[in-house]
Structure 1
Amino acid sequence: MQLHKIQIESLERKYKLNLINSISGIKPANLIGTKSLAGNENVAIFSSVVHLGSSPAQLAFIMRPQSEFPRDTYSNILETEFYTINHVSESFIEKAHYTSAKLERSESEFDRMKLEKEFIGGFHAPFVKDSPVKIGMKHLESIPLPNGCLFVIGSVEMLVLPDEAINELGQLDLQHSSGVGISGLNSYYGLTRLNSFPYVREEEIPNYK
C-alpha cells in the first residue's frame, strides 16, 4: 500500500482514524487519576504520555480539544494542579480501556469499572492501587497545539514502584511489571524486553558490514 496525502484524506472516516492512530507504533498505556475540589474522582486512559526531561523530572501528555466538550480530567487538573499517572498492566486492561467512556461528572470511573483507588502520602489525586508504577504529578503548563489539542506538562512529584523492577542503573523493567502498550485506539500489546545496549559513544560504534 502506498498512499499520498490526497488519498489519505479521502479515506473513509473510521478507516482513516484507525490507520493514522496506529502508524506511530506502540504507545504507553496509562491511567490518569484526578480529583476535583468538590471531591469528584476521575480516572481515564491515555496513550500519549511522553518523557520531557530528567532534571527537573517532567512528563507530558496530549489532551483533546476542550472548547466543545470539556473533559473531567483536565478540569480537575486546572482546579487542583495535581494528577496521577498509573501504568496499565495485563491484569486490568479491559477495565482500563472502558474508562474512556463519557460518564456524568458525578460518576467515578473508579467505581463504575471497579478499579480500586488509593491515596498515598497525602497526595491530593488518587492512584490506581493495582498499577505497578504510580507517578504523582503537578501541572506546570498547557501548550495549545495546531490541531486544537493541548500539550499538558507536569513535574514529577512522587514515584511509587516495585524495588525488584529497578536495576542497579535505575532502569525500570517494564516486562517485570507486566506493562502493556496500545496500538491505535483499542489494541493492546504485552511488553517483552528484547535487549539492552550501552550509552552510545562514536568510538564504540560496532563495525557493521
Structure 2
Amino acid sequence: MTTGTDKPGPGAEPTRFGLEAQIKRNPHGDFGKVQRERPPFEKDVQFHYHQTVDVDWKVGSGATDDEWKTHKKIELDPYGPDRNPVDNYKMLISAVTPRPIGFVSTVSKDGVRNLAPFSYFTMVNHDPPIFCLGFSKGTGAPKDTAANILETKELTINIISEWFVEAANYCSTNAPTDVDEWKLSGLTPLASSKVKPEHVAESAFSVEAKLIHSHEWTSKVTGNPSGTLVLVEGVNFHVREDVINEQRNIIDPVKLQSVSRLGGITYGRTTSGYELLRPDFDSESKKPEFEEALSK
C-alpha cells in the first residue's frame, strides 16, 4: 500500500502483518459527516510566492526558531520486539511528506486494464528520465499494478491535479482484479504512442514508461516478500499545452495544481512557495560570516 489500496493480486490471503487488516484508514467513524462539517474547499486560493521564513538568514545561522531545543528526540528500533511493521508504515507516511503521487495505468498480459495511485514514487534521474515506484506487499502477493509492470514491462505515470483528485482517489479501491477502475472513476483514457497502457486525459502531465529494473524486498519480521521496487524509464511525455512555457521546459505550478500525499488519508494542496538560490561556494566564501561559521 502506498497512496490508497491497489487491489491484491489473485490468490492473495491476509497474514498477521497484512497492512489492510491493521491500518484502519478511517479515523473519524462517520467520515461523510465530518467532511461536510468542515469549511468548503477554497477554490479561490491559487499558487503564489511569498518570502522565505527569514529573508535575512546568514551562513551559519542555523534554524530560524529555537522551539526544537525544548524537545528531545526518542529512538525507535524499526525491528523492536513490540513494534509491528504497520507502526513503521503509519509513522513513515506521516513523516516523509509531502510525497508526489504516481497515478499508474497498466494493462495485464491478458488485456485487463488497471489504474491506481501510489505515493511511493518519485523521479531519480533526468538523462535518461528515470522514475521509481514502490509497491508494498502486505498480503504476500503482488498488487495488480506491480504484477502488470513485471509481466508486460509497460506503464504510464500521470500527475494528479485538484480537478480530478476524487476520481483518482477512487481508483485506490480494493476492487477485484477484473473490475475496471477507469469506468469506476469516470476518467478518460487516451491512447499512448510507445506503450500499450493508456494515459489519463484529465492529467496535465503524463509519462509513457518502460521497466528497466526491479527488486523484491523481504520482511525481516516474517521472512516473506514484503514489497517490490521498480525503476522505469520515461520514453514519451504528454503535457497539456497551457501548463508549459513556450520553451517547453517549465510547468506552471499555478496551472498544474498538483496534489501530494501526507499522513493517513490526508492529501495536500500546492498553493504557495518561496524561492531560494543555491549558494555559490566561491562567492559565499568571501563573506566574513563564512569564516566565522567555519571557526565555530
Using the size of structure 2 for normalisation, the TM-score is 0.62
Question: Contact 2:194–2:235 at 8 Å: present in 1 too?
Answer: no
Distance 1:174 1:185 in 2: 25
Write the letter of the residue equivalent to 1:202.
F
Aligned to 1:42: 114
Question: Contact 2:188–2:200 at 8 Å: present in 1 too?
Answer: yes
Aligned to 1:153: 231
Using the size of structure 1 for normalisation, the TM-score is 0.85
Aligned-pair RMSD on alpha carbons? 2.9
Task: Summarize the Cα distance change of 1:122–1:4 in structure 2 as closer, same or farther, 3 Å threshold.
Answer: closer
Aligned to 1:88: 160
Count residues in correspondence. 209
Q: Which sits farther off after the overlay, 192-201 or 75-84?
A: 192-201
Write the letter of the residue equivalent to 1:57.
P
Write the letter of the residue equivalent to 2:75.
H
Question: Contact 1:86–1:128 at 8 Å: present in 2 too?
Answer: yes
Question: Contact 2:78–2:88 at 8 Å: present in 1 too?
Answer: no
From 75, 83, 103, the equivalent of 1:4 is 75
Give runs of aligned pairs for residues 46-195 of structure 1, distance below 5 A.
46-65=118-137, 68-121=140-193, 123-145=195-217, 147=219, 148-167=226-245, 168=247, 170-195=249-274
- Structure with the bigger percentage of strand: 1
Distance 2:178 2:228 in 1: 24
Q: Secondary structure at the match of 1:141?
A: strand
Task: Summarize the Cα distance change of 1:205–1:44 in structure 2 as closer, same or farther, 3 Å threshold.
Answer: farther
Question: Contact 2:204–2:243 at 8 Å: present in 1 too?
Answer: no
Aligned to 2:5: none
Distance 1:169 1:102 in 2: 38
Task: Summarize the Cα distance change of 1:185–1:43 in structure 2 as closer, same or farther, 3 Å threshold.
Answer: farther
List alignment gaps of at least 5 residues for structure 1.
none
Q: Which sits farther off after the overlay, 24-33 or 57-66?
A: 57-66
Task: Summarize the Cα distance change of 1:13–1:158 in structure 2 as closer, same or farther, 3 Å threshold.
Answer: closer
Of all paired residues, the percent bearing the same amino acid is: 20
Residue 45 of structure 1 deviates from its aligned partner by 0.7
Distance 1:185 1:101 in 2: 15
Aligned to 1:18: 90
